[in-house]
């Protein structure tokens, strides 16, 4: 599957990259946004791309080398978690950024190629971690549903997936695992489907919210997002821009509240009073853009 960047024109508009800029793409993924930004900051700019999955980074590095050799010296790709921005930038001697981008959407490459159980449409191991390579001790979805207490599972499904049937699903998970531990995505998806009322006209698969919740829990996503925003903000110089694309309400709420708090402190000028969404044309060409929301702000100089 080819990587299609969401809201690309809007990202370039609000990020406003210029020649010589140092820009952070905290979620570089397949490089759709990063490559477009890198072209704007030539000849002396730097695009720093962070990605947890080293497989994805290797593919992107090869793509740049083969298809965009003119950008090779403009891109610095780092394998790591964006919550560690300060630690990742320190060896590069980078103390200031002219802009930062977050695309918090689920990677199409992770869904299609990772074989780590992010989708209920394929029968895969219940891992759901973005991190690669996976090390002993790393949390997985399999560990959560096979070992965690019923109440904790229910809380995860309710708070991270906004699943109204969280308690029923958690109860049935515990009953099932006592007979046979869960191994695969199909097993979990089938259990969830049996646990919720049948709705013939329901738009999404019954397991969608459960898988979302487990993915967020495994990767500690919401805490990582909040921590990363704050760290990136400290690196941004006055006049620089922060652009955030989110895909579900929990992420968007964090982005909204973060920018609002910076505005209240006199540190930010919010450029998107309401989130920017995809045009009908983009949604037609790239259906996953339907739920995307973009928020942006300029960092102000504190007097």
Q: Dump pLDDT digits (tens) for 90-120.
A: 999 999 999 999 999 877 767 677 788 888 8
282 φ/ψ angles, rounded to the nearest 5 degrees: -65, -40
Of 61, 221, 47, the residue nearest 130 (C-alpha) = 221
Lowest mean pLDDT among 52-56, 100-104, 242-246: 52-56
Location of each CATH 1.10.150.170 domain in the chain: 111-219
Q: Which residues of 179-189 are buried (b: 16+ CB within 10 A; e: fewer)?
A: eeebebbbbbb
Location of each CATH 3.40.50.150 domain in the chain: 8-110+223-299
Determine the distance from the C-alpha atom of residue 74 to the mean position of all C-alpha atoms in its chain, rounded to a whole number.
Answer: 23
Provide the sign of the torsion angle of the four alpha carbons 18, 21, 26, 30, taken in this order.
positive
Both tokens of 198, joined, read: 């049948």
Q: Is 31 marked as a binding-site residue?
A: yes
Helix (H, G, I), strand (E, B) or coil at 29: coil
Lowest mean pLDDT among 80-84, 113-117, 189-193, 270-274: 113-117
- Would you say residue 171 has pLDDT above 90? yes
Q: Is 103 marked as a binding-site residue?
A: yes
pLDDT tens digit string along 258-284?
A: 999 999 999 999 999 999 999 999 999
Q: Is 229 marked as a binding-site residue?
A: no
Which pLDDT value is given to residue 106?
75
Q: Which residues of 93-131 are buried (b: 16+ CB within 10 A; e: fewer)?
A: ebeebbbbbbbbbbbbbbeeebebbbbbeeebebbbbbb
Which pLDDT value is given to residue 1?
44
Spatial separation of the C-alpha atoms in residues 138 and 118, rounded to whole Å: 16
Which pLDDT value is given to residue 108?
72
Q: Is 51 marked as a binding-site residue?
A: yes
Which pLDDT value is given to residue 205?
86
CATH classification for the domain delimited by 111-219, as one of 1.10.3720.10, 3.40.50.300, 1.10.150.170, 1.20.1090.10: 1.10.150.170
CATH classification for the domain delimited by 8-110+223-299, as one of 1.10.1040.10, 3.40.50.150, 2.60.120.620, 3.40.50.1370: 3.40.50.150
Spatial separation of the C-alpha atoms in residues 55 and 59, rounded to whole Å: 6
Provide the sign of the torsion angle of the four alpha carbons 83, 88, 90, 96, taken in this order.
negative
Pairing outcome for strands 22-25 and 46-51: parallel
Whether a cis peptide bond, with omega within 30° of 0, leads into 288 is no
DSSP 212: H
Report the phi/psi class of residue 213: left, alpha or beta, with left for phi > 0 and alpha for psi in -120 to 50: alpha
Spatial separation of the C-alpha atoms in residues 241 and 290, rounded to whole Å: 24
Q: Is 33 marked as a binding-site residue?
A: yes
Spatial separation of the C-alpha atoms in residues 59 and 38, rounded to whole Å: 17
Sole residue written with tokens 């010589």: 20
Which pLDDT value is given to residue 200?
67
Of 127, 234, 103, 250, the residue nearest 184 (C-alpha) = 127
Q: Is 186 marked as a binding-site residue?
A: no
Q: Is 32 marked as a binding-site residue?
A: yes
């Amino acid at each position: 599957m080819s990587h299609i960047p969401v809201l690309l024109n809007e990202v370039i508009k609000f990020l406003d990259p210029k020649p010589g800029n140092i820009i952070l793409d905290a979620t570089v993924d397949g490089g759709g946004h990063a490559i477009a930004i890198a072209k704007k900051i030539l000849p002396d700019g730097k695009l720093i791309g962070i990605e947890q999955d080293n497989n994805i980074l290797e593919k992107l590095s090869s793509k740049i080398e083969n298809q965009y050799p003119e950008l090779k010296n403009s891109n610095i790709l780092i394998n790591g978690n964006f919550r560690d921005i300060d630690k990742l930038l320190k060896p590069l001697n980078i103390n200031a950024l002219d802009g930062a981008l977050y695309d918090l959407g689920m990677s199409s490459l992770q869904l299609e190629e990772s074989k780590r159980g992010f989708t209920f449409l394929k029968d895969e191991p219940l891992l759901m971690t973005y991190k690669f390579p996976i090390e002993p001790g790393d949390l997985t979805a399999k560990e959560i549903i096979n070992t965690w207490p019923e109440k904790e599972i229910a809380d995860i499904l309710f708070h991270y997936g906004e699943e109204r049937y969280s308690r029923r699903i958690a109860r049935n998970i515990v009953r099932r695992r006592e007979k046979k531990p869960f191994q695969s995505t199909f097993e979990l998806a089938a259990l969830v489907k049996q646990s919720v009322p049948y709705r013939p006209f329901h738009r999404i698969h019954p397991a969608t919210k459960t898988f979302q919740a487990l993915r967020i829990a495994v990767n500690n996503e919401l805490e990582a997002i909040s921590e990363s925003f704050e760290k990136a903000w400290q690196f941004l110089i006055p006049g620089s821009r922060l652009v955030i694309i989110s895909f579900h309400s929990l992420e968007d709420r964090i982005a909204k509240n973060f920018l609002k708090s910076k505005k209240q402190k006199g540190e930010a000028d919010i450029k998107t009073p309401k989130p920017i969404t995809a045009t009908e044309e983009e949604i037609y060409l790239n259906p996953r853009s339907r739920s995307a929301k973009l928020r942006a702000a300029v960092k102000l100089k504190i007097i």
